């Protein structure tokens, strides 16, 4: 079962299944493709796109467009169309969130860091490359961002586990999804890297926020923003068009929005140290 967290590297092929994984964006991109007619060139193109975005948007590479913009060596009007698109989208999010999400303020010494938006956006674009090549049954995950189409077996949805915030060997909940995207934000592995840009602080009343949407770009950035807002972010995310929410609060309770009733097949794993919320009492923001 895929988890909304990095997976180990594999490279396997079969008559109907191709599995490919590569290191990118500081994590692992993993593809499970069930469409044998999709050419390998399309798979290559999807992964090449992820690597290209990683190169142009990296905050660690001195020659990336983002670092060149930050230093003033490149002006925005001369940046690539992808970079201009992302910067415009991030500016709209800054305005709509009242400054909670601000790519010029939330990383301390960094004065420009759109990584809170880029990973989901890039993964969604890579999935579109596969769809254009005829793929209809596949799972593509990059870190905690997942997009899944079709059914791995007739009548069975993709099962996506939301990782337990404290235990790497347990899931806090399991979702059954078809033609949907899932993104999780939390402090699993990188410490307090998600902050409210207005205050520079990391919330202490949430352990993770998972968003389900038809758009991975939306799911990814909404999960980041909702987590940065703390518990108030659950209701904010639930009010965003097309978004459903699963959150784990600091007291180890799983809470969710009503639209997930048919997707949430395991609200909490027995003995995993988290308790399922009361659905009737946890209709956050609805």
Please check whether residue 4 lies inside any domain of the structure.
no
Q: Quick one: DSSP state of residue 92?
A: H
Q: What percent of the chain has pLDDT over 90?
A: 63
Query: 213-262, pLDDT tens digit by residue?
Result: 999 999 999 999 999 999 999 999 999 999 999 999 888 888 889 888 88
- Alpha carbon distance 26, 76 (integer Å): 25
How does residue 284 score in pLDDT terms, banded at 50, 70 and 90?
very low
pLDDT of residue 270: 37
How does residue 269 score in pLDDT terms, banded at 50, 70 and 90?
very low
Cβ-count burial of 187 within 10 angstroms (0-12 exposed, 13-18 middle, 19+ buried)? Answer: middle
pLDDT at 272 over 50: no
How does residue 276 score in pLDDT terms, banded at 50, 70 and 90?
very low
User: 266: part of which helix (H) or strand (E)?
Assistant: strand 264-266
What mean pLDDT, rounded, does the chain reach?
A: 85
pLDDT of residue 278: 33
Q: Which residue has the tokens 């960094």?
A: 110
pLDDT at 4 over 70: no
Q: 278 to each of 174, 254, 261, 283, how far by Cα in Å?
A: 16, 9, 12, 9
Cβ-count burial of 168 within 10 angstroms (0-12 exposed, 13-18 middle, 19+ buried)? Answer: exposed
Please check whether residue 195 lies inside any domain of the structure.
yes
Please check whether residue 118 lies inside any domain of the structure.
yes
Please check whether residue 87 lies inside any domain of the structure.
yes
Query: 73-100, pLDDT tens digit by residue?
Result: 999 999 999 999 999 999 999 999 999 9
pLDDT of residue 146: 95
Domain range for 201 is 11-281
Please check whether residue 259 lies inside any domain of the structure.
yes
Please check whether residue 5 lies inside any domain of the structure.
no
pLDDT of residue 63: 95
Please check whether residue 1 lies inside any domain of the structure.
no
- For β-strands 253-256 and 275-276, DSSP reports them as parallel
| pLDDT mean over 119-123 | 97
The pTM score is 0.86
Please check whether residue 2 lies inside any domain of the structure.
no
The count of domains in the chain is: 1
SS (H, E, C) 21-86: EEEECCEEEEEEECCCCCCHHHHHHHHHHHHHHHHHHCCCCCCCHHHHHHHCCCCHHHCCHHHHHH
Q: What percent of the chain has pLDDT over 70?
A: 84
CB–CB of 143/134 below 8 Å? no
Looking up residue 262, the CATH number of its domain turns out to be 3.10.520.10
pLDDT of residue 259: 87
Query: 122-180, pLDDT tens digit by residue?
Result: 999 999 999 999 999 999 999 889 999 999 999 999 999 988 877 777 888 899 999 99
pLDDT of residue 242: 93
How does residue 47 score in pLDDT terms, banded at 50, 70 and 90?
very high
């Amino acid at each position: 079962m895929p988890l909304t967290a990095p997976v180990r590297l594999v490279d396997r092929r079969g008559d109907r299944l191709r599995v490919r994984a590569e290191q990118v964006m500081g994590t692992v991109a993993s593809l499970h493709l069930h469409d044998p007619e999709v050419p390998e060139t399309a798979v290559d193109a999807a992964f090449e796109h992820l690597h290209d975005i990683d190169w142009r948007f990296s905050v660690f590479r001195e020659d990336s467009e983002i670092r060149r913009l930050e230093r003033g060596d490149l002006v925005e009007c001369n940046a690539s169309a992808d970079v201009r698109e992302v910067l415009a989208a991030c500016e709209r999010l800054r305005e709509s969130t009242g400054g909670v999400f601000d790519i010029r303020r939330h990383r301390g010494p960094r004065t420009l860091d759109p990584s809170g938006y880029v990973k989901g956006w890039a993964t969604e674009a890579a999935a579109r490359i596969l769809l254009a090549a005829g793929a209809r049954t596949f799972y593509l995950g990059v870190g905690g961002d997942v997009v899944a189409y079709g059914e791995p077996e007739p009548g069975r949805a993709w099962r996506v586990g939301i990782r337990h915030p404290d235990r790497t060997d347990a899931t806090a909940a399991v979702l059954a999804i078809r033609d949907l995207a899932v993104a999780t934000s939390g402090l699993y592995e990188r410490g307090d890297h998600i902050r409210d840009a207005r205050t520079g602080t990391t919330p202490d009343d949430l352990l993770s926020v998972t968003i389900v949407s038809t758009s991975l770009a939306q799911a990814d950035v909404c999960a980041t923003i909702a987590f940065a807002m703390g518990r108030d972010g659950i209701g904010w995310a639930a009010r965003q068009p097309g978004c459903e929410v699963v959150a784990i609060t600091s007291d180890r309770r799983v809470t969710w929005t009503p639209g997930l009733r048919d997707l949430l097949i395991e609200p909490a794993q027995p003995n995993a140290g988290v308790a399922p919320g009361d659905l009737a009492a946890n209709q956050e923001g609805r």
